[in-house]
Structure 1
Amino acid sequence: MADYQTIIIGAGPAGNALAYRLASTQKVLVVENDLFGGTCPNQGCDAKKMLYSGIEVRQQAQRLQGHGLASAPKINWPDLMAFKRSYTEQVPTATEAELRNVGVTTVHGTAKFVAADLLEVDQHQYHGDHIVIATGQRPHQLQIPGAELLKTSRDFLDLDQLPARIVFIGGGYISFELANIAATAGAQVTLIHHNQRPLKQFPQMLVASLIQQMTAAGIQVQLGAEPQAVKKTATGLQLQTSAGDFDADLIINATGRQPNIDALGLDQVGINADVHGINVNDHLQTNLPEVYAIGDVVKRTLPKLTPVASFEGDYLADQLLGLRDDAIDYPLIPTIVFGTEKLAQIGVSVNEAQKDTRHFQVTEMDVGSWYTYNRIQDKNAKVLLVKDMVGQVVGVSVLSALADELINHFADRLAQGHAPLYLYPTTASDLAYLN
């Protein structure tokens, strides 16, 4: 049996941030049963943004038709996918090599708790003074007849060829972003959502404007459509819903994600968790003091994003190294949807402000005619400012091709003593590496 000071289950952004910080002073083991690097660089935000690079160029060219450009480049899907793979295919090997180079031991396999300080991986046992669960999430599976015919975002982000007809199920980030990529690349796209309020954490007026732009771009958005069944047809697949049937060559289930905890044996050692994740206190400890959880596997209401996972990894490193013992205090967390235009927000949300009009007021600004937006013909650009009763800006929501840039500027302005957390991946998020 091998002994370690800290064992980390999961080699994604949270686990890796922790491992790198501990490596120089502790004996550390990282266990991973899938791809080193985790979802974000392999099958999530980084992979998506590689594809989005070509999509963004085409959309900007379309906005400038008649303003100096006579045509917009077409997307060559196999070439764009090859570009994405040129990055993603080297991630697992490079990530594991980097961990080993700093002294971290790595093991491939599925970890299961034998005791609060003991794991079993492929019949080998590993003891840890501290064990940290950082196993992330996986796509939620719909419980409808024919669900085995559905694919996930992971499948979409590695398509050799782009199907002619694609249906996305779900009204969250993933559906909106992948629908934009697919439609801009030339597919006939339908997005369905079971109720009338997709992207519910964002201001309704901006979501409505985004949907109008999606519709203008040829994306069919069907709200109030509850998925009921999927079946094969002579020409492909058919999704049956409460609002009618939708034919497709590919149907992507993007109805949410669930924690990767099933194989960990949490019940055996009595770690508190449910379908929403692992319960932790304000020091990221589970109910077992020597066991912690960080990243997307944690049960919390904060957005499950790469910068948040990395922040928790850094915080826990300070705890385990004895550099601090205070409760975790999160900075303001910016969020973004890379749709037909970017929809982003930070600070007090418009939704919160509208529920508390005694303390907040919302100012709406159509900024499409401003020089910055006129220059790129972003005519529908909108900004919503949330101000407190003394007129101080405490929150911002933006729908614009430049929303990520503006929100990152407000991340600096609203930081309030914290090191700002930037949208990822953006130029500003690279600042952490420039030291």
Structure 2
Amino acid sequence: MKKYDVFVIGSGMSGMTAANKCASKGLKVGITDELPYGGTCALRGCDPKKVIIGATEVRDFAQRLKGNGIDTIPKVNWEDIMAFKQSFVDAMPPKIEKAYKNKDIDTYHTAAKFLSDNTLQVGDEVIEADKIVIATGAKPRILDFEGGEYALSSTDFLNLKELPQSLLFIGGGYIAFEFAHIAARAGAEVTIVHRSKKPLENFEQDIVEHLVNATEELGIKLILETEVSGIEKTEEGYNVKGNKNGKDVSFTVEAVFNSAGRPPAIFDLDLEKANISYSKKGIAVNEYLQSTSNPRIYAAGDAADTRGLPLTPVAVLEGHTLASNIIKGNKKEVSYPPMPTVVFTHPTMASVGLTEKQANEKGIQYKVNYKSADDWFNAKRLNVKEYAFKTIEDQEEQILLGAHLIGPNSEEVINIFAMAIKTKMKLQELRTMIFAYPTMASDIPHML
């Protein structure tokens, strides 16, 4: 039996952060992951997705400026962009493992299961640890209808050798929209099927409407209020069956993708053997990110049930927090600053702080500024149809509560709003800031 001060399950951003920080303070640390080191973001999510999006951004920009200085619209070379993406992905696992070894962190490459409150079966090894960190992230929801196994995952999409001519995404969240926009601009026919009345339900719906318009303008079929009930393999590809308002519907496509949510990847760990409380939202933790039922256990990132959004920077913050508590004892409560989140479609949609609904539920005296800014200079020079904002202000405190944007570079502009909310900058100070002009940020004073 091998013994460690700290053993980490999962080598994504939260697990990596915790392992490195604990090792830097002289603790004996081990880490395992059944998948290549790096986690979802670096290998199967944000980073490779953003590399692929780069090519579609160029095509989108050229299409908007055709006839206004651009004559030829470039095509996306799928094989080339996938090779470019892979150069980033392939570099990560060996780089991460080398860094672990430099810090004397023992590395394992297999699944882990609990044997007791402080022991694990890791491959052929039985491991005992004073503290165990669960940082296993999330994985695609299992589709439990007939033929659900035919649906490919977001990881599969990011590794497609060739792009199918027709694709269908099950689910109306950010993964479906981002990948649908990529595929459509790369030349595929795309359908999104979502069971609810509104897609992207956690975002400000006034802004989502603009993204829906942009999505349909791109030729993507958005089918709402439709529950997928089965997938049938055919000679042409797949027949996706569903029910819309009591009527049977079907769609024939070459490929189907499961983008119906990502639950925490904790249900194969035999948590019961370690007396670890959990729910479908993740490991139950206290304000120190420590298990509420087993003090030896800590959890972070998508595997933990916290107030943090399922975002990479949040996972890093939680990794730092729990590592500090392991090293020094429980002295650091997890504290979340405003968490900006982005849907990387074209146009991008970004959000930080409270929605109008949340402000209303809190009983705050607030003011809303909502406007489509498609007639502003920045929209005209870039020839964009969807450029809009919704800001929510605290009337009593005269500070910003929330900002919700759609349009060019909203993924960057939202960070300025995040800083304003975190620092509780007075609205008048933000209104009188001098921003470089003409930039997208120079529109901020007019959004307040």
Question: Greater CA deviation, 8-17 or 115-124?
Answer: 115-124
Distance 1:198 1:379 in 2: 20
Which aligned pairs between 1:191-340 and structure 2 lie closer than 5 A? 191-243=192-244, 244-286=249-291, 287-322=293-328, 325-340=331-346
For residues 68-120 of structure 1, what are the alpha-carbon distances to aligned partners after superposition, in whole Å with 9 as ceiling and x for unaligned? 11222110111111111111122222211222122211111111112222212
Amino acid paired to 2:84: F
Separation in 2, partners of 1:324, 1:376: 51
Q: Does 1:184 align with 2:194?
A: no
Comparing 19-28 with 310-319, which one deviates more in the overlay?
A: 19-28
Structure 1 segments, 4+ long, off by >6 Å, are none
Identity %: 35
- Conserved in 2, the CA contact under 8 Å of 1:353 and 1:361? no
Residues in 1 aligned to 2:170 and 2:67: alpha-carbon distance in whole angstroms: 36
Q: Matches of 1:210 and 1:137 in 2, distance apart?
A: 26
Separation of aligned partners in 1, 2:329 and 2:21 = 12
Alpha-carbon contact 2:290-2:322 (below 8 Å) kept: no
1:25-82 CA distance string (max 9 Å, x none):
2111111111100111111111111111111111111111222112221101111111
Partners of 2:329 and 2:419 lie apart in 1 by 25
Q: Does 2:79 align with 1:78? A: yes
Aligned to 1:411: 418
Shift of 1:338: 1.1
Matched letter for residue 258 of structure 2:
N
SS of residue matched to 2:88: helix
Matched to 1:171, the amino acid is G
Match of 1:383 in 2: 389
Contact 1:22-1:317 at 8 Å conserved across structures: yes
Unaligned runs of 5+ in 2: 426-448
| Worse overlay, 87-96 or 216-225 | 87-96
- Per the TM alignment, residue 3 of structure 1 is displaced from its structure 2 partner at its CA by 1.8
Distance 1:354 1:181, change over 3 A: farther
Between the aligned partners of 2:177 and 2:136, the Cα distance in structure 1 is 25
Q: Which residue of structure 2 aligns with residue 15 of structure 1?
A: 15
Counterpart AA for 2:377:
Y
Count of matched residue positions in the alignment of Structure 1 and Structure 2? 418
Moved more, 316-325 or 169-178: 316-325
Counterpart amino acid of residue 123 in structure 1:
D
Instruction: Name the SS of the counterpart of 2:24 in structure 1.
Output: coil
Cα contact 1:353–1:362 (8 A) shared by 2: no
Equivalence for 1:58: 59
What letter matches 1:71 in structure 2? T
Aligned to 1:24: 24
TM score, norm. by length of structure 1: 0.92
Partners of 2:403 and 2:313 in 1: CA distance: 19
Counterpart CA distance in 2 for 1:252 and 1:401 is 28
TM-score (norm 2): 0.90
After superposition, residues 350-429 of structure 1 pair within 5 angstroms as: 350-355=356-361, 359-390=365-396, 391-416=398-423
Q: Is the 8 A contact 1:134 1:294 kept in 2?
A: yes
Is contact 2:7–2:31 with CA below 8 Å preserved after alignment? yes
Tell me how large the CA RMSD over aligned residues is.
Answer: 1.7
Deviation at 1:322, TM superposition (A): 1.4
Matched AA of 2:297: V
In the TM superposition, residue 417 of structure 1 has moved relative to its aligned partner by 8.2
Q: After superposition, what is the alpha-carbon deviation per residue over 1:217-237, rounded to whole angstroms, capped at 9, x for unaligned?
A: 110101011101110123111
Deviates more, 1:270-279 or 1:349-358: 349-358
Instruction: Quickly say closer, same or farther: Cα 1:232–1:290, change in 2 above 3 A.
Output: same
Deviation, 1:376, is: 2.1
Shift of the alpha carbon at 1:300? Answer: 3.2
Mark the CA change 1:323 to 1:67 in structure 2 (over 3 Å): closer, same or farther: farther
Larger deviation, residues 177-186 vs 15-24: 15-24
Deviation (angstroms), 1:372: 3.3
Query: Contact 1:119 / 1:127 at 8 angstroms: preserved in 2?
Result: yes
Give the Cα separation in 1 of the matches to 2:230 and 2:38. Answer: 35
Q: How far did 1:371 drift? A: 3.2
Distance 1:360 1:417 in 2: 15
Distance 1:258 1:295 in 2: 12
Segments of 5+ residues of structure 1 without an aligned counterpart are 419-435
Task: Please state how far the C-alpha of 1:215 moved relative to its aligned partner.
Answer: 0.8
Q: Distance in 2 between matches of 1:132 and 1:373?
A: 47
Distance apart, 1:354 and its partner CA: 4.9
Deviations 1:176-235 (A, max 9, x none): 110010001000000110111110111212111111111111101010111011101231
CA contact (8 A) 1:19 1:28 kept: yes
The answer to whether the Cα contact below 8 Å between 1:202 and 1:351 also exists between their aligned partners in 2 is: no
Q: Shift of residue 408 of structure 1?
A: 0.9
Contact 2:12-2:137 at 8 Å conserved across structures: yes
State the Cα distance separating 1:355 from its structure 2 match: 4.6
Instruction: Work out whether residues 399 and 424 of structure 2, in 8 Å CA contact, stay in contact via their aligned partners in 1.
Output: no
Matched AA of 1:366: S
2:24 aligned partner, one-letter code: S
Displacement of 1:357 in angstroms is 6.8
Query: Which letter does structure 2 place at the counterpart of 1:44?
Result: G
For residues 124 and 115 of structure 2, the distance between their equivalents in structure 1, rounded to whole angstroms, comes to 11
Change (3 A) 1:316 1:300: closer
Cα deviation, 1:119-145, whole Å, max 9, x if unaligned, reads 121231222111111011110011111
Q: Which whole-Å deviations, capped at 9, do the CAs of 1:14-35 have from their partners, x for residues lacking one?
A: 0001112122221111111111
Rounded to whole Å, the distance in 1 between the matches of 2:16 and 2:218 is 39
The structural deviation recorded for 1:275 is 2.2
